[in-house]
């Protein structure tokens, strides 16, 4: 069943011409002279689509639809050869982070660390001593030096307030010295503390840099004041509206919290959930032992909520030099990243998911973590013949050894990529990985036909970053490519198919 919003993708995808403005949804609208992909797993397409008040009435040819009573006086939109895609999905978002983004300090426009400190200091002065300053969206790729920050300059200006600032990618956070003291990460850390599913980054003096990767953030998050349910509901409503306005009708939420899942269930029960959400609760560490679904919650016709699987985090991002690599980073020969979960634990978690018939989604950014994920899945198949049918996914793919790419289709593993994120990381990626390994990050483009299926996501932690136009337009981009997100791409009003 297609849960859909009609989203027109033009020049960046199929070199189509500029599309006319979408008519107001008062009468039926007939889209024609295009290729409308129906997303029905059979590759079906139609040349025309008729909709009214946000619901698809019928698909077919222009002649067929024009003869219908609803089509006789329908407003027409000539697609001029463009493609209409019902039911655009984003394969990777963080709804919890998006909800937080509605209340937290927005740092997405900071073009320097100094500007970030200025905004955070102003918020601290506004809140008063002792109050948490929570921020989200900073990205060192927008800064001139592209360097990850150290807490010291921030701490010098915010000594009376605990500060927690989430990165735009949602996989690491920056905290100030006051927070480090509260969670007992101050002083010399040699060796660095081991955190199941996470990492505390240290500087050359073996002191915490203030950067916490993946589950290490939980050490701090546990101290946050809880968000009242009514404010969580209001924030989610704003996020839902923003995602629908982008032309998305379905998102895959990775690391779904118990609080968010309860909210979504409540909204669905009341018939108030408009956005379709596919949830993958995080089950990497012992702290998430209670997050395991007892069984998958599959889609029902016109159902807006499903919980088909679970999310496992194997390493951190390349940007934090935490992606587990087979060789050292080119710009830091002492560093290879690290696995945040050992292979035995990963195998145990995968076996548990298989027995519960839950689709496993493994977050693996580096070539070592990708290989570990593939080899562990291969061993799993030997013991559980049905595991392959669960369609395992490897999420956040950034670096893969070229000889490992063919193993994805061989093992029926779906690679999930974030093209727009790769494009933003382009400014420093080659320096971090070295020219040869950097070139290998583009291997999937040549192998795309053999990989058969790719899942593309934005990785967004803020609804403003979840543009499917940007994601799709970034996919063809590579070294020497001139592809850019197209201004021709746009979303029309929401449409759903009938039962």
Q: What is the pLDDT of residues 223-253, one digit of tens each?
A: 998 899 999 999 999 999 999 999 899 999 9
Lowest-confidence region among 56-70, 82-96, 165-179, 431-445: 431-445
Q: Which of 159, 163, 160, 161 has its CA nearest to residue 149? A: 163
Q: Give percent of the chain with pLDDT exceeding 70.
A: 87
Q: Which of 206, 171, 159, 169 has its CA nearest to residue 187? A: 206
How would you classify the pairing of strands 133-138 and 194-195?
A: unpaired
Round to whole Å and give the CA distance between 461 and 93.
6
What is the pLDDT averaged over residues 396-425? 89
Round to whole Å and give the CA distance between 337 and 369.
10
Band (19; pLDDT cuts 50, 70, 90): very low
Lowest-confidence region among 51-55, 104-108, 179-183: 51-55
Q: Which domains does the chain have, with CATH numbers?
A: 20-81 (2.30.40.10), 90-95+228-490 (3.20.20.140), 104-221 (3.10.310.70)
The four Cα atoms 98, 179, 138, 121 give a dihedral, to 10 degrees, of 110
pTM: 0.83
Q: Note the residue count of the chain.
A: 499
Lowest-confidence region among 53-57, 432-436, 481-485: 481-485
Cβ–Cβ < 8 Å for 313, 215: yes
What is the pLDDT averaged over residues 249-259? 94
Given a cut of 80, is residue 337 above it in pLDDT? yes
Round to whole Å and give the CA distance between 165 and 147.
16
Segment 43-78, tens digit of pLDDT: 899 999 999 887 889 999 999 999 999 999 999 999
Question: Which tops the pLDDT comparison, 476 or 58?
Answer: 58
Given a cut of 60, is residue 154 above it in pLDDT? yes
Given a cut of 70, is residue 1 above it in pLDDT? no
Band (421; pLDDT cuts 50, 70, 90): confident
Cβ–Cβ < 8 Å for 467, 7: no
Q: Return the exposure string of 97-124: e unless at least 16 CB atoms fall within 10 Å of the residue's CB, then b.
A: bbbbbbebbebbebeebeebbebbbebb
For every residue of 151-166, DSSP letters joined together read HHHHHHH-TTS-EEEE
Residue 242: per-residue pLDDT: 96
Q: Which of 346, 349, 342, 223 has its CA nearest to residue 289? A: 349
Question: Which tops the pLDDT comparison, 326 or 17?
Answer: 326
Asked if omega into 456 is within 30° of 0 (cis), the reply is no
Helices (H), 288-392: 343-355, 367-383
Given a cut of 70, is residue 9 above it in pLDDT? no
Residue 163: per-residue pLDDT: 98
Lowest-confidence region among 192-201, 279-288, 296-305, 468-477: 296-305
Given a cut of 80, is residue 486 above it in pLDDT? no
Average confidence score pLDDT of the chain: 86
How would you classify the pairing of strands 5-9 and 83-85?
A: antiparallel
Band (297; pLDDT cuts 50, 70, 90): confident
User: Which token pair is 291?
Assistant: 């997050």
């Amino acid at each position: 069943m297609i849960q859909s919003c009609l989203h027109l993708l033009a020049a960046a995808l199929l070199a189509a011409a500029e599309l006319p403005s979408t008519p107001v949804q008062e009468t039926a609208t007939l889209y024609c002279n295009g290729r409308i992909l129906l997303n029905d797993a059979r590759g079906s397409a139609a040349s025309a689509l008729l909709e009214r008040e946000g619901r698809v009435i019928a698909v077919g040819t222009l002649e067929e639809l024009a003869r219908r009573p609803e089509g006789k006086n329908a407003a027409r939109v000539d697609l001029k050869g463009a493609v209409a895609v019902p039911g655009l999905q984003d394969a990777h978002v963080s709804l919890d982070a998006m909800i937080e983004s509605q209340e937290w300090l927005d740092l997405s426009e900071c073009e320097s660390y100094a500007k970030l400190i200025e905004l955070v200091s102003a918020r601290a002065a506004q809140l008063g001593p002792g109050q948490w300053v929570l921020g989200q969206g900073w990205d060192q790729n927008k800064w001139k030096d592209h360097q990850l920050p150290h807490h010291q300059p921030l701490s010098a200006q915010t000594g009376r307030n605990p500060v927690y600032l989430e990165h735009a990618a949602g996989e690491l956070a920056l905290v100030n010295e006051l927070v480090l003291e509260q969670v007992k990460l101050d002083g010399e850390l040699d060796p660095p503390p081991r955190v199941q599913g996470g990492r505390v980054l240290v500087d050359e003096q073996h002191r915490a840099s203030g950067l916490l990767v993946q589950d290490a953030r939980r050490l701090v998050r546990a101290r946050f004041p809880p968000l009242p349910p009514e404010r969580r509901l209001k924030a989610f409503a704003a996020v839902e509206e923003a995602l629908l306005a982008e032309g998305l009708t379905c998102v895959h939420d990775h690391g779904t919290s118990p609080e968010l899942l309860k909210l979504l269930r409540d909204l669905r029960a009341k018939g108030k959930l408009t956005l379709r959400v596919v949830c993958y609760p995080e089950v990497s560490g012992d702290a998430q032992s209670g997050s395991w679904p007892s069984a998958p919650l599959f889609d029902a016709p016109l159902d807006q909520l499903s919980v088909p699987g679970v999310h496992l985090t194997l390493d951190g991002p390349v940007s934090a030099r935490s992606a587990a690599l087979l060789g050292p980073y080119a710009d830091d020969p002492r560093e290879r990243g690290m696995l945040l979960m050992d292979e035995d634990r990963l195998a145990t978690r995968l076996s548990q998911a298989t027995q519960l018939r839950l689709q496993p989604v493994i977050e693996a950014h580096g070539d070592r973590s990708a290989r570990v994920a593939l080899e562990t899945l291969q061993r799993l198949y030997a013991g559980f013949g049905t595991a392959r049918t669960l369609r395992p996914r490897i999420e956040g793919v950034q670096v893969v050894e070229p000889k490992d790419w063919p193993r994805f289709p061989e093992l029926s593993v779906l690679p999930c990529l974030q093209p727009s994120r790769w494009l933003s990381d382009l400014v420093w990626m080659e320096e971090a990985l070295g020219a040869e390994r950097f070139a290998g990050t583009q291997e999937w483009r040549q192998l795309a036909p053999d990989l058969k299926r790719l899942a593309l996501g934005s990785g967004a932690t803020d609804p403003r970053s979840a543009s499917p136009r940007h994601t799709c337009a970034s996919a063809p981009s590579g070294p020497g490519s001139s592809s850019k997100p197209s201004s021709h791409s746009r979303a029309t009003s929401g449409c759903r198919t009938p039962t």
